[in-house]
Amino acid sequence: MRNAIHDQPPASGPARPRVWLIQSDKLGDNAQLRVLADALGWPYEVRRVLMKPEYVFGKPRFAASLHHIDAQRSDPLAPPWPDLVLTIGRRCAMVALWVREQAGGRPRIVLVGRPKKGLDAFDLIVAPPQFRMPEAENVEPLSLPLMRADPERVMAAREEWGPRLAAMPRPLTAVLVGGATKPFRFDRETAGELMVGLEALLAREGGSLYLTTSRRTPPEVVEELRARLPAGSAFYTWRPECGENPYFGLLACADRFVVTGDSVSMMVEVARLGRPLAIYDLPLSREPLVRWRHRLGRAVSGAGVLGRIGGGLQKRGLIGITRDLQGFHARLYAQGLAVPFGMPFRPPRRIVEEELDRIARRVRRLVA
């Protein structure tokens, strides 16, 4: 529904600001914004913006602009202007900055994720831990991203999928497969190595596998995984038109999970449910330039002189803020939420939800 208004219980205090969520059609991103918006306790209006075809995957030049959105398919952006904008991602952040210009600088902007401009373009940056963010007054770091599986959807999936999965030998290991993302590769060879490890897991501990792919899984990886599927296991190939995706059924019913290390959303959704999780770390790309950029990004975001120089350049928007998936994996291991693939699974660990309250308090202070 266009310009949907979402009512929340009254927040403390006499005044409640006008809040916009500027979001796209990326379900994972939208879910993170809703988690934060719901924690604020204020009504909010959704402004959904859709990209022109060339910018669905292409990266528009970053500026306060609407040149990259399809105005005919997007929600209207018009007064009364908001007091607060919550947004996520490069393309939606550009729209948020345009809204602030039209409103004479009025709305505060909270960005979830990494900025594509200098840090001072935003009033608050809620920084998930997979990004190498410099320390700054307007940066609130997270130890886990805000994403989480909808509990009602998981409960409904348990009712639907429980009987369908009951015959599979236990323990049932769900293998959630993503795809290649820089600086890592995910090719036929990588898929074969994953299957060798999964076959060793079954030989050691018994049970069965249920593999699922995603929209980013390369066709040759799908072929290799399907060809080597052990007897008694199941395989699902992601298709946009198929309504039988077992993802939530596995979240509800599987005993443990193996997730490829490219997918932050799948790792976090499993971890937040308190399920045993192993991460299959993808190998680095063989391209020398990609490997060099990866090493340079780690150097300018670490400790020491290079790290201090890099942090200063990032704050000014002179160099980009990179993603550190391996560092994110290490955080999950240190928190007891996951193990490297091949290590014994750990019992689930409960996550204490304190960060969201802290971030919500910080956002409320922005508009107080």
Band of the pLDDT at 10, cuts 50, 70, 90?
very low
Span 151-285+327-340: which CATH code?
Answer: 3.40.50.2000
Residues of the chain with CATH 3.40.50.2000: 151-285+327-340
pLDDT of 224 > 60? The answer is yes
Question: Would the pLDDT of 50 be above 70?
Answer: yes
Residue 322: pLDDT over 60: yes
Q: Is 113 exposed, middle or buried, given 0-12, 13-18 or 19+ CB atoms closer than 10 A?
A: buried
More confident call, 157 vs 311: 157
pTM, entire model: 0.85
Find out whether 62 and 317 touch, Cβ atoms under 8 Å: no
Task: Tell whether the model's pLDDT for residue 9 goes beyond 50.
Answer: no
346 has pLDDT over 70: yes
pLDDT digits (tens, 9 = 90+) for 169-200: 999 999 999 998 888 999 999 999 999 999 99
CATH of 5-144+355-367, one of 1.10.357, 3.90.550, 3.40.50, 1.10.3470: 3.40.50
* Rounded to 5°, angle at Cα 121 from 365 and 148: 65
* Percentage of the residues of the chain whose pLDDT score is greater than 70: 88
pLDDT band of residue 70 (cuts 50, 70, 90) is: very high
Q: Please give the mean pLDDT across all residues of the chain.
A: 89
Tell me the C-alpha distance between 34 and 311, whole Å.
Answer: 30
